[in-house]
Amino acid sequence: GAGVSQSPRYKVAKRGQDVALRCDPISGHVSLFWYQQALGQGPEFLTYFQNEAQLDKSGLPSDRFFAERPEGSVSTLKIQRTQQEDSAVYLCASSLGGTGRDTQYFGPGTRLTVL
Amino acid sequence: GNSVTQMEGPVTLSEEAFLTINCTYTATGYPSLFWYVQYPGEGLQLLLKATKADDKGSNKGFEATYRKETTSFHLEKGSVQVSDSAVYFCALSDSTGNQFYFGTGTSLTVIP
């Protein structure tokens, strides 16, 4: 079956622009995670959804970052007024169960470059 | 807070050599521990996991044992192959299951 997909795969934004990154999880998966991965680093947790409920958003680096999953399926990560330090790969992962203890299936990521 | 510290790379080994990648963690409560792997050109995927102390996770010849007394989850393989060349990430899920923490990753290259 289809895995986790993310779009766009690459995004170039000018500083100050708003961007929206989309994640399509595996159908039926309850949990959805967003991560930010800087070059040469491990993924850093941003936020977690269980169905449509955002249970944890403690990793979002500032109030410019906002995530939603309104129908418990597709999720969107929005970054307002992008800054150069936002340049990174943004990964989405989903899992069948309701916690991070379950196997997470990762998408290919969206590489964001802010000029 | 919760965190994962893993051995810095890169690591280069000859085929059939023994592999150890060290991972230690800091966590409150009862975390679950994971090794994820990223092969060249591919996305992250689960390699193995352990959900409680003394559990051993294993897959594809890799093993790791959840040691609460030393707060460690070292990855081992007795005989590596060229196809094991990848970046390996140690990770933990906190007690709630709502947060997830990765180490910085260790790049492994296996040469014939």
Q: How far apart are CA A26 and CA B82, in angstroms?
A: 31
Average pLDDT, chain A: 95
Q: What is the dihedral of CA B46, B93, B74, B8, to 10 degrees?
A: 90
Q: Which of B96, B98, B101, B107 to mutate: most A Cβ within 10 Å?
A: B98
CA torsion sign for A44, A49, A54, A55 is negative
pLDDT of the residue at B97: 83
- Give the H or E element holding residue A37: strand A31-37
What residue type is assigned to position B60 of the chain?
Answer: K
pLDDT of the residue at B79: 96
Q: Which of A26, A34, A41, A101 to mutate: most B Cβ within 10 Å?
A: A101
Q: What is the pLDDT of residues A7-18, one digit of tens each?
A: 999 999 999 999
A91/B98 touch (CB, cutoff 8 Å), yes or no: no
What residue type is assigned to position B86 of the chain?
Answer: A
User: Which residues in chain A have their CB less than 8 angstroms from residue B46's CB?
Assistant: 103-104
Tokens of A14: 């000018």
Q: Please give the residue of chain B at the shortest CA–CA distance from A35.
A: B100
Q: What is the pLDDT of residues B28-84, one digit of tens each?
A: 888 999 999 999 989 999 999 999 999 999 999 999 999 999 999 999 999 999 999
* Phi and psi torsions of A96, nearest 5°: -65, -45
Q: What is the pLDDT of residues A14-37, one digit of tens each?
A: 999 999 999 999 999 999 999 999
